[in-house]
Structure 1
């Protein structure tokens, strides 16, 4: 793998990870506005209902995953041109 390919691959990975983190932060803020409660944390808590924790896990997982996938898709398309 050449240096240019390596740098491009690392750049795509960093962009995808950044998109995932930004999406997760945006979803946290949205969750707080809608529910008037902070988003559940990763560690189990007695104050967090199981339904709420599962809903948050699904919403944040799908949102962050879709954002990472979209960024990788767009950047891979641009790289192949």
Structure 2
């Protein structure tokens, strides 16, 4: 979380803007369910990603490195 997105709606351009992800939730289709019956190569309904956003000041404003980037920098400085 904390990713920054720029979203634009061609039908409502006034809603375009930069947003920060503050929550996300994947809803996966389970094999063998009504949405993906046994024996079918693909589900009838795809997985869904729900995202909770808040307005952000700027794209890439105050971005911080991800945890794995922090660990890599620590390892490089220790070497």
Instruction: Tell me which interval the TM-score lies in, with the shorter structure as reference length.
Output: under 0.3
Query: Which is richer in helix?
Result: 1
Larger Rg: 2
More contact order relative to length (CA 8 Å, sep ≥ 6): 1
